[in-house]
A = this chain, B = another copy of it.
Amino acid sequence: MNKAKALLLIADGVGDRPIKALGGKTPLEAAVKPNLDKLASESECGIMDPIAAGIRAGSDTSHLALLGYDPYKYYTGRGPFEAAGIGMDVRKGDIAFRCNFSTVDENMVITDRRAGRITSGTDQLAAAVNGMKIDGVEVIFKESVAHRGALILRAAGLSAAITDTDPHHEGFGVLTSEAIDPADAASAKTAKAINEFVHQSYKILKNHPVNKDRIAQGLNPANIILPRGGGIGPNIESFESEHGLKAACVAETGLINGVARYVGMDITVVPGATGGLDSNLMNMAKAIIEQLQTHDFILCNVKGADLGGHDNNPQAKIDTIMKLDEMVGYLMANVPAKTYIALTADHSTPCELLDHSGDPVPIVIWGDDVRVDKCERFDERSVTAGGLGRIRGIDVVNILTQLMNTQEKFGA
């Protein structure tokens, strides 16, 4: 007998509100999407609050919930998730920060928080500061896109309860990080290390060849690194040890791969999966089918619809939905026997809001023996009549594992 498998397919930000230009329809209601509607008509349907009713979820917090991890417990700040998102190995107890390469003058006053929006050479600058030790604290630094990077401080007895060195405005001097509770030794130790790191970054970077070149070209040098948003690496069990399921992630963005890496999922690199509107979703579909040969659980995130929302571009959203429709048609025809598919979103990104909202999102669950209901369309309003009613993101993995029959019974 085949082992049951599951695919959790997230159409990032696909939920929306009625749009005047679409005659009061949402993009999901306006799009022609025969396969998504077929999926819904063969599914148990409902609406889902990624975190809780009315809560505006980020993609990171929502994906944590959708993978069964309470984000109020496990989301310890942007720092650790940004670091994981660019492939850094964030461990329990690490303190991780988002960072900017910035420009300071000789008085340590910030003249450009983004160092002329530097686009190249940050890998060399990162290499110059990475690996140092400060009073026994290990420093791990990696560049990200443009002027961004991430920093990990690793040692026993650190704490994220410290103030930022980044004043968040130009024309101000670099701040001295302090322990929020001066009596807390872990915070004091971390603040001291961060202050020393910032000081050292200036000392090392100000005369770095990359910056000498920039100055020669009339560009602002990336002569200091300013960390902010520190958070502690959470004590998190892997998805496999929680559920006994070997899991892989097929996603386009560092943020989602970062969450997946956090919970020990295998990461898949898909050619042409750009995270943009031009992304090759059929290549992602093929990667899913391939990963289902060796994994029990696949998380897939398709980014495009969210971009349409952030740009108030309903047509871009509709276009992504139609590409997703082709992808889902292929998946329904090609997943192994006994595979369950849950199709949903991580949050709504209403076009007219240009950002994530707290509106619930549609969810459909498809596969053997589900209690198929009367819903025939995959959109925000059609699924409200479905058998699932209104559930939460954190319920989704439990609903899938009970269908897969891999969940332990609680009690006798």
Which residues of A pack against B, CB within 8 Å? 17-18, 26, 46-47, 51-62, 71, 75, 78, 81-82, 255, 350, 352-353, 355-359, 369-373, 380-381, 384-392, 395-403, 405, 407-412
User: Are the C-beta atoms of B411 and A57 separated by less than 8 Å?
Assistant: yes
User: Are the C-beta atoms of A17 and B56 separated by less than 8 Å?
Assistant: no
Which residue of the partner chain, among B75, B82, B358, contacts A399 with CB atoms under 8 Å?
Answer: B358
Least CB separation from A62: chain B residue: B411
A412 cross-chain contacts in B, Cβ below 8 A = 58-60, 78, 81-82, 255
For this chain, the copies found in one complex come to 2
Least CB separation from A370: chain B residue: B17
A47 cross-chain contacts in B, Cβ below 8 A = 387, 389
User: Are the C-beta atoms of B371 and A411 separated by less than 8 Å?
Assistant: no
A398 cross-chain contacts in B, Cβ below 8 A = 52-55, 358
A401 cross-chain contacts in B, Cβ below 8 A = 54, 358
CA distance A193 to B81 in the complex (A): 49
How distant is A366 from chain B, measured CB to nearest CB, in Å? 13
Given contacts A54-B395, A412-B60, contact A359 B371 (CB under 8 A): yes
How distant is A66 from chain B, measured CB to nearest CB, in Å? 12
User: Would you mind naming 18 contact pairs between A and B with Cβ atoms under 8 Å apart?
Assistant: A17-B371, A18-B372, A26-B371, A47-B389, A51-B410, A53-B395, A54-B397, A56-B407, A57-B410, A82-B412, A255-B412, A357-B402, A358-B398, A358-B402, A358-B403, A371-B381, A380-B387, A390-B391
Which residue of the partner chain, among B51, B352, B411, contacts A71 with CB atoms under 8 Å?
Answer: B411
Given contacts A54-B402, A357-B402, contact A350 B373 (CB under 8 A): no
A391 cross-chain contacts in B, Cβ below 8 A = 53, 390
A388 cross-chain contacts in B, Cβ below 8 A = 390
User: Are the C-beta atoms of A353 and B405 separated by less than 8 Å?
Assistant: yes
A51 cross-chain contacts in B, Cβ below 8 A = 410
CA distance A294 to B372 in the complex (A): 44
